[in-house]
A and B are shown apart, each in its own frame.
With several copies, the nearest count.
Chain A
Amino acid sequence: MRSGSPDASSNADAQPILELRELEKRYGFIQALKPASLAFRRGEIHAIVGENGAGKSTLIKLLTGVIRRTGGKIVWNGAEVELATPNEAIAHGINAVHQEVVLCRHLSVAANIFLGDEAVKFGLLQKREMTRAAQKILDDMGFNLPADILLGDLTIGQQQLVATARASLRGTKFIIFDEPTAYLTRSEAAQLFALIRRLKDEGVTIVYISHRMEEVFELADRVSVLRDGTLVGTRNISDTNDAELVALMINRSLEQIYHKEAIPLGKVLLETRNLSGKGFNNVSLTVRAGEIVGLYGLIGAGRSEFALSVFGRNPKTAGDIVWQGNVVDMRNERTAIDLGIALAPESRRDQGLNLNLPIGLNINLPVYDQINSGIVVNAGEEKRRADQQIKDLGIKTPSRNSLASSMSGGNQQKIVIGKWLNHGAELFIFDEPTVGVDVGTKAEIYRLFAKLLKNGAGIILISSYLPEVYELADTLHVFRDGHLVGSQAYREKTHEDILAEAIGV
């Protein structure tokens, strides 16, 4: 199905800046993108939505010369182009902020921004100039980042901002954002939107990929939907609505995303008393059985560091962790896991996954202690458990033996979640659990949360996506600069109040 009318917008007659004709991509036997035809108009913001593994990132990689198409044509400004290498795309003024940050951790922010395009005088790098220029670019975009720091020292969200700055510099005609707000909080996202609008005003064509519908409606002029590698439709944003898009995406309607049940709160599972550590200070909170405790804050507010300390990954510097009434010495992760705490960490690449290992091994990694028969691993149980999570979470993979690295971003995230659902615990800490996860699966995950709660577990939900914590949390804590600045019961305040607390105005 193709978007029917050539359409209503005023510059309908203008030549499209970029046109795909029966573009297709196969990975061996997997058809990641089935022949797709689509025209991007000059200066529009074109959103692309679809389930995890639908082929969105694949499409973007084809347009930026990262991977080679296996069929079809690409027409740029009326002329057919190869787009066989990243260089060629850059030369046309096409660039992208990829879903996974593709930058060099060992280089400084400035070096990353100018990589491949260095300022050189007499053959020598103009490092100081570049740092200054990079700083100015970052400041102009409103990103609060130093240009001379090593990229590896930044959080993923911050790295994503660097990638954005970098892409805006090169994508003079056409920029693609692949889930740029996944790790951003509301205020950073707002800055990004301002940047995108400014670029649009400058005549740049924008492609915007997101799983957050409200962002699509806030930004986009038109939206295209991918399902299972097929382009199922393109709509003017004014002619469509949430429900229609979701229905197109998942081929059925979805009544409710945020699944919330009234579950009676049980005993106190975890209590932190004036807990301090690297990146956070004096945090006191409690989590009860059946409760979702939401943690909200800006990037770098200290929520993840707090979670890592509770989980025994990083040492606390002061305060106590009380587990079911007893002060515990959280020596390492093992201690936490044995007590019944699980942590699905925020960065799937750095902390969550063993990328070059099979999905099955990733899912079972925390439970190998439990599934032995004698000295060897019970292979049947290993398979069963892996398949169970693949099924429950709808991980789109040919086999549990596929490498985690061959999964789409959202599917990788599901593996991180599945790993801990597989293990089970009394307290689950989910740090940005739905980053890059499609709406259908999000609803599924929220339903799984409810199931966990009903079984007597408690959940700490760290999210930079305010609607998520706002809708789901029984208690919401706001972090700012490593401190707890506000705590409220379920829906006591408005989004705006919470945001204000997080920013500190």
Chain B
Amino acid sequence: MTTEVTPTSVAPKRNFNFLFALTLVGLLLLLCIVLSIATPSFATGNNISNLLRQGSMIAILAIGQTFVIITAGIDLSVGAVVGFSTVVVAGLLQAGVPIPIAILITLAVGLAIGCFHAFGIVKMGLPPFIITLATLTSLRGIGLLITNGSTINITNEAFTLFSRESFLGVPNLFWMVVIVAIPAFVFLHLSKWGRYLYAVGSNPEAARLSGVSVPKMIFIAYGLSSMFAAFVGVMLAARLGVGNATQGDGWELQAIASTVIGGTSLFGAIGSVHGPLIGAFILATIANGANLLNVNSFWQRIITGVLIIVIVFFDQLRRRNR
């Protein structure tokens, strides 16, 4: 028997993942090209800036969500955490807390919420769906209670100005995506922690037998997801100039949809950082394009649904044929 390695006909997944991301980028580009032709205002610098701003928040949520979904979990609370965080940061700023400290406290609150989720899952044995749904419900209540159903007006100009400005011609909000995505990429794809996340999602028993602390990875995944959501809350508060507990309603579904469009499997262990990013911007581009083309709002919903099917379908085709 020969001991050399015979090359097999099975294509290595690594390359394939890369190609897969390319397809999605291709679909996004195609969308952009069609829109550039259909409407003159699409390909203007101003609109691209708007587009980048519009997609950035869901994109960051989607990245956090991806960590959780890779562990075969789900985080329904992110929208509520966004809303709650706008209240926290707005309240702190109005109380005169300096911006950096207000932001840090808000992120810490987010982290704490995520740790609570992980605690519920790991220690109390609750399904992720339930514990995050419960937080979703409760957090909105707490936020509404704090604000008494109204909005907290942020009078700190420096804070709100940030969301409007650009750096090197790119909106600050999009830079936030870059700032989050790069470490997220390193974490998920280049560090051993990322590998452990996949292992936990793929086969928690195998991960445990390999000495991976499954609870720790669950804490990391949910902690990051909620912290990213808190970060988005800060961005949203800056963009809207208010804190309001009902904001971010339904964003969890948008984030999960971006994640799944980006090729993440809800059964865990499959997913990337770039996929959800592209997924989020595909959704943002569809909305932007529909607005620019002044599509009737009702038709806009129908078209969004159809496009989601079409895009994911072509992706599936591509994946199957490799």
Task: Name, among B186, B206, B210, B211, the residue most crowded by chain A CB atoms within 10 Å (CB to CB).
Answer: B210
**Given known contacts A103-B206, A366-B211, is B13 in contact with A402 (CB within 8 Å)?**
yes
Of A64, A120, A250, A419, which one neighbours B192 at CB under 8 angstroms? A120
**B211 surroundings in chain A (CB, below 8 A):** 85-87, 90, 116-117, 333-334, 337, 365-366, 369
Chain B residue nearest in CB terms to A115: B210
Give chain B interface residues in 154-203, CB to chain A under 8 Å: 186, 190-192, 195-196, 198-199, 201-203
> Of B3-11, B22-30, B307-315, which stretch is located at the interface?
B3-11
A38 at the interface (CB under 8 A from B): no
Which residues from A are CB-within-8-Å of B192? 118, 120, 125, 368-369, 372, 377
Q: Does A397 contact B (CB under 8 A)?
A: yes
Is B2 an interface residue, CB under 8 A from the partner? Answer: yes
Other-chain residue from B191, B205, B270 in contact with A356 (beta carbon distance below 8 A): B270
Assembly CA distance A403 to B2 (angstroms)? 21
Interfacial residues of chain B within 91-115, with CB under 8 A of chain A in the complex: none
A387 contacts across to B, CB distance below 8 A: 5
The stretch that binds B, out of A71-79, A207-215, A344-352, is A344-352
The number of residue pairs between A and B whose CB atoms lie closer than 8 Å in the complex comes to: 210
Separation in Å of the A289 CB from the closest CB of chain B?
Answer: 22
Mask for B250-283, Cβ within 8 A of A = 1, else 0? Answer: 0000000000000000000110000000000000
**Residues of chain A with a CB closer than 8 A to B9's CB:** 29
Decide: A398 and B203 in contact? CB cutoff 8 A: no
Expressed in whole angstroms, the minimum distance between the Cβ of B1 and any Cβ of chain A is 5
Contact status A102-B203, CB under 8 Å = yes
Residue from B12, B186, B192, B270 with most neighbouring chain A CB atoms (10 Å): B192
Question: Is B212 at the interface (CB under 8 A from chain A)?
Answer: yes
* Whole-angstrom CA separation of A7 from B173 in the bound complex: 76
Is B5's CB under 8 angstroms from A146's CB? Answer: yes
> Which residues of chain B come closer than 8 Å to A357, judged between CB atoms?
198-199, 202, 269
Q: Does A503 contact B (CB under 8 A)?
A: yes
CA distance A252 to B211 in the complex (A): 39
The CA of A51 and the CA of B8, in the complex, are separated in Å by 19
- Please measure, in the bound complex, the distance between the C-alpha atom of A368 and the C-alpha atom of B195, giving whole angstroms: 8
Instruction: Tell me which of A104-112, A196-204, A232-240, A447-455 binds B.
Output: A104-112
- Cα–Cα distance between A372 and B192 once the two chains are bound (Å): 8
Question: Per a CB cutoff under 8 Å, which of A29, A90, A112, A124 touches B8?
Answer: A29
A120 and B192 alpha carbons, distance in the complex (Å): 8
**Of A28, A107, A369, A372, which contacts B199 at CB under 8 A?**
A107
Question: Counting CB contacts under 8 A, is A83 at the interface?
Answer: no
In the complex the two chains form, is A365's CB within 8 Å of B212's CB?
yes
Residues of A within 8 A of B3 (CB): 139, 142, 144, 391-392, 394
**Is A440's beta carbon under 8 Å from chain B?**
yes
Shortest CB distance B8–A (Å):
4
Do the beta carbons of B209 and A311 come within 8 Å of each other? yes
Which residues of A have CB within 8 Å of B203? Answer: 102-105, 350, 353-355
Q: How far is the CB of A400 from chain B (nearest CB, A)?
A: 8
The closest CB in chain B to the CB of A154 belongs to B10
Residues of the B chain whose Cβ atoms lie less than 8 Å from the Cβ of A191? 1
Contact B190 A354 (CB under 8 A): no
Q: How far is the CB of B263 from chain A (nearest CB, A)?
A: 13
B201 to chain A, nearest CB (A): 7
Bound-complex Cα distance A402 to B6 (A): 13
**Residue among A139, A313, A372 making CB contact with B208, cutoff 8 Å:** A313
B195 near A125 with CB under 8 A, answer yes
Min C-beta distance of B204 to chain A, whole Å: 9
How large, as a class, is the contact surface on chain B?
35 or more
**How many angstroms from the CA of A358 to the CA of B209 in the assembled complex?**
18
**Given A142-B1, A313-B208, A153 and B10 contact (CB-CB distance below 8 Å):** yes
A150 to B138 CA separation, bound complex (whole angstroms)? 38
The answer to whether A324 has its CB under 8 Å from any CB of chain B is no
Query: In the complex, how many angstroms separate the beta carbon of B309 from the nearest chain A beta carbon?
Result: 25
Within 8 A of B (CB), among A122-147: 123-125, 135, 138-139, 142, 144-146
Judge whether B202 and A106 touch: CB under 8 Å: yes
B190 touches A376 (CB 8 A): yes
- A98, A376, A391, A403: which has the most chain B beta carbons within 10 Å? A376
A30: interface (CB < 8 Å): yes
A residues 328-364 with Cβ under 8 Å of B?
332-334, 337, 343, 345, 350-358, 361, 364
Q: Size range of the interface on A?
A: 35 or more
Q: A86-B208, A124-B191, A401-B13 are in contact. Are A104 and B202 (CB under 8 A)?
A: yes
Known: A106-B198, A148-B12, A402-B10. A503 touches B206 (CB 8 A): no
A135 CB, min distance to chain B CBs, angstroms: 7
A337: chain B residues at CB < 8 Å are 211
Q: Does A187 contact B (CB under 8 A)?
A: yes
Is A12 at the interface (CB under 8 A from chain B)? no
In chain B, what residue has the closest Cβ to A390?
Answer: B5
- Known interface pairs A123-B191, A124-B190. Does A104 touch B12 (Cβ–Cβ under 8 Å)? no
Whole-angstrom distance between the alpha carbons of A146 and B2 in the complex? 14
How many angstroms between the C-alpha atoms of A3 and B322 in the bound complex?
39
- Taking CB atoms, residues of chain A closer than 8 Å to B195 are 107, 111, 115, 118, 125, 361, 364-365, 368, 377
The distance in angstroms between the C-alpha atoms of A369 and B12, with both chains bound, is 25
A107 proximity list for chain B (CB < 8 A): 195, 198-199, 202
A309 at the interface (CB under 8 A from B): no
B198 touches A66 (CB 8 A): no
Contacts of B123 in A (CB 8 A): none
Cβ of A14 < 8 Å from any Cβ of B? no
| Cα–Cα distance between A30 and B8 once the two chains are bound (Å) | 8
A418 to B224, CA, bound (A): 33
Q: Given B10, B14, B213, which contacts A398 in the complex, CB threshold below 8 Å?
A: B10
> What are some 26 contacts across the A-B interface (CB < 8 A)?
A86-B209, A105-B202, A106-B201, A112-B206, A115-B199, A116-B207, A117-B210, A120-B192, A149-B13, A150-B13, A313-B209, A334-B211, A351-B209, A354-B199, A354-B202, A354-B269, A358-B13, A361-B198, A368-B195, A368-B196, A376-B190, A376-B191, A377-B195, A379-B190, A399-B5, A399-B8
What is A's interface to B at a CB cutoff of 8 Å?
28-30, 51, 64, 66, 85-87, 90, 98, 102-108, 111-112, 115-118, 120, 123-125, 135, 138-139, 142, 144-146, 148-150, 153, 187, 191, 250-252, 311, 313, 332-334, 337, 343, 345, 350-358, 361, 364-366, 368-369, 372, 375-377, 379, 387, 390-392, 394, 396-399, 401-403, 419, 440-441, 503
Q: With contacts A146-B5, A377-B192 known, what are 15 further pairs, Cβ within 8 A?
A: A104-B269, A144-B4, A144-B5, A149-B12, A311-B209, A333-B210, A353-B206, A357-B202, A361-B195, A361-B199, A375-B191, A391-B3, A394-B2, A396-B6, A399-B7
Identify the 5 closest CB pairs spanning chains A and B, nearest first: A116-B210, A398-B8, A368-B192, A401-B12, A354-B202
